[in-house]
Amino acid sequence: MTELVRAATLLPAVRREIELRTADGLTLVGELALPESHEPIATLVCLHPLPTAGGFMDSHILRKAAARLPAMADIAVLRFNFRGVSSPRGTSQGEFGHGDDERFDLDAAMAFVAEHELPDPWLLGWSFGTEVALKHGLEHPVVGALLLSPPLHRTEQSELAQWAGSGKRLVAVIPELDDYLRPAEAAERFAVVPECELVAVEGGKHLWVGENQTYRVLTEIVERLNPAVLPLPTEWP
């Protein structure tokens, strides 16, 4: 017997509630999801959408990545609430830092990755989370950054240009019907990073609502971290 993979599907994994401690003295709440019976082949560090617009560690793409990818693709998924953000997991201390103070949150997450020897970390930013990744991710030993619906509101072109020649991979997944940055403008803005992979998703929207869009986004992630397991299954025993 198999069941279709749907929005509420929660596949087997080892899930641990975690706390991150920032350099400016805050405690952040989060979760680490690991493959149940294999060592992870790579690690996703998830940076969620805008807190003032309802973004948190359970924003649906990040929740579904944690629910599926440890089992489907042997990927470790680390999620946490930025400072001042609440979710069913709890509330992270502090106040919204407009993408600046969140650098301490990213530092704490990457320190956790190093301490626990999680392999081949990638940043997965969505909307506001892409700004944190672009502004502060170069400081860390990541393989690269995956950007979902990057608005490029807070990231200066000079900050973006620093990724050029860095040796870190940059993948921007741009919805055709995005509310903030569509493929044509994205091509202009990301031209300062010639090696950036731009993925224009036909019919895609900023929030990636629906199983078809979720499947596409998770496929783009796995194509970079563990392409040998593609295509992702749509059913599970």
Q: Is residue 235, in this structure, part of any structural domain at all?
A: no
Q: Is residue 7, in this structure, part of any structural domain at all?
A: no
CATH number at residue 142: 3.40.50.1820
Q: Is residue 183, in this structure, part of any structural domain at all?
A: yes
What distance lies between CA 75 and its chain's CA centroid?
12
Structure tokens at 203: 């019919």
> Is residue 54 pLDDT above 90, yes or no?
yes
Q: Is residue 90, in this structure, part of any structural domain at all?
A: yes
Q: Is residue 236, in this structure, part of any structural domain at all?
A: no
Q: Is residue 35, in this structure, part of any structural domain at all?
A: yes
Q: Say how many domains are in the chain.
A: 1
Question: Would you state the pLDDT for residue 1?
Answer: 82
Mean pLDDT of 175-194: 98
> Is residue 24 pLDDT above 90, yes or no?
yes
CB neighbour list of residue 186: distance below 8 Å, 6 or more residues apart: 150, 172, 174, 198, 200
Structure tokens at 181: 């940055």
CA 227, CA 201: separation in Å to the nearest integer? 19
- For 103-152, how does the pLDDT look when each residue is reduced to its tens digit (9 = 90+)? 999 999 999 999 999 999 999 999 999 999 999 999 999 999 999 999 99
Mean pLDDT, rounded, of the chain: 98
CB 13 within 8 A of CB 74: no
- For 64-107, how does the pLDDT look when each residue is reduced to its tens digit (9 = 90+)? 999 999 999 999 999 999 999 999 999 999 999 999 999 999 99
Q: Is residue 197, in this structure, part of any structural domain at all?
A: yes
Question: Would you state the pLDDT for residue 237?
Answer: 92
Q: Is residue 233, in this structure, part of any structural domain at all?
A: no
Among candidates 7, 40, 44, which has minimal Cα distance to 234?
Answer: 7
Domain range enclosing 205: 13-226
Mean pLDDT of 141-169: 98
Mean pLDDT of 217-221: 98
Mean pLDDT of 13-31: 98
